[in-house]
Copies of this chain bind each other. A is one copy, B any other.
Amino acid sequence: MVDNSRTQRRDSYTVDTLLAVTVRVFNERGYDGTSMEDLSRAAGITKSSIYHHVRGKEELLRLAVGRALDHLFAILDEPGAASGPAVDRLEHVVRRTTEVLLLELPYVTLLLRVRGNTGTELWALQRRREFDQRVSDLLAEAVGAGELRADVEPRLATRLLFGMINSLVEWYREDPDGSVAGPAVQHIADAVTTLAFSGLRAAPRR
């Protein structure tokens, strides 16, 4: 008979479920402020059980921000982002970026908070800049095509766009069971897209 006298929870984690716990703790305490001990306590398994899944804290960070980055970069390969007028591709990217942020909220939140100087953090910052640059290029293309107004400089417009989208992590909250709460994802994505492309002003009466 197997000795099963350890009182702690049996390790039934996969890397994915361990990651969900990890991301919550990283977002609460900050990456720097989180120890393997903290993760072990939050997951209810020993540190060596965690080391069974990953090499350590930095690999958990890489997997977590990697998940957010994979979702974001995948948007750029979607059909709506790949063909058609630049303005329509940009609108698709803005809408889908908003949706990904809300649906992958803890992972994108962690990505947006990355600062620091570990290799993984520098890599994440670099990938974020690449994504922003791709969107900025698309925006510039739409300006060049006369589809977007030329009086707002593309890099500044991109920063303001992402400023608006990324600010959602400051107030949007999932339900405790992980489902989305408050105004539905679609509703918020519509509002962001409308505001970004058409502005708040009512169309003049005809």
Stretch at the interface among A12-20, A117-125, A158-166: A158-166
Given B151, B188, B203, which contacts A149 in the complex, CB threshold below 8 Å? B203
15 pairs of residues in contact across A and B, judged by CB atoms under 8 Å: A147-B202, A148-B200, A152-B195, A156-B187, A159-B167, A160-B164, A163-B164, A163-B168, A195-B196, A195-B199, A196-B200, A197-B200, A197-B201, A198-B198, A198-B201
List, in ascending order, chain B residues with CB within 8 A of A197's CB.
199-201
**CB contact under 8 A between A191 and B148, given known A163-B163, A163-B167, A196-B199:** no
Given B153, B163, B194, which contacts A151 in the complex, CB threshold below 8 Å? B194
Measured CB to CB, the closest approach of chain B to A24, in angstroms, equals: 18
Give A199's nearest chain B residue, CB to CB. Answer: B199
* Other A-B pairs, 16, CB within 8 Å; known A148-B202, A163-B167, A194-B199: A87-B201, A147-B202, A148-B200, A150-B202, A157-B191, A160-B191, A160-B192, A160-B195, A161-B164, A162-B167, A163-B168, A166-B167, A196-B200, A197-B200, A197-B201, A199-B199
Contact indicator per residue, chain A 149-187, by CB within 8 Å of chain B (1) or not (0): 111110011011111111110110000000000010001
Oligomer copy total = 2
Given B149, B163, B167, B190, which contacts A200 in the complex, CB threshold below 8 Å? B149
List which A95-141 residues lie within 8 A (CB) of chain B.
139
The answer to whether B167 touches A202 (Cβ under 8 A) is no
Give A192's nearest chain B residue, CB to CB. Answer: B160
A44 within 8 A of B: no
A146 within 8 A of B: yes
How far is it, in angstroms, between the C-alpha of A157 and the C-alpha of B202 when the chains are bound? 13
Measured CB to CB, the closest approach of chain B to A189, in angstroms, equals: 11
How far is it, in angstroms, between the C-alpha of A167 and the C-alpha of B153 when the chains are bound? 17
Q: Which 4 A-B residue pairings sit nearest by Cβ, starting from the closest? A: A163-B167, A199-B199, A164-B164, A198-B199
Measured CB to CB, the closest approach of chain B to A81, in angstroms, equals: 17
* Residue of A139, A165, A170, A199 most packed against chain B (CB within 10 A): A199
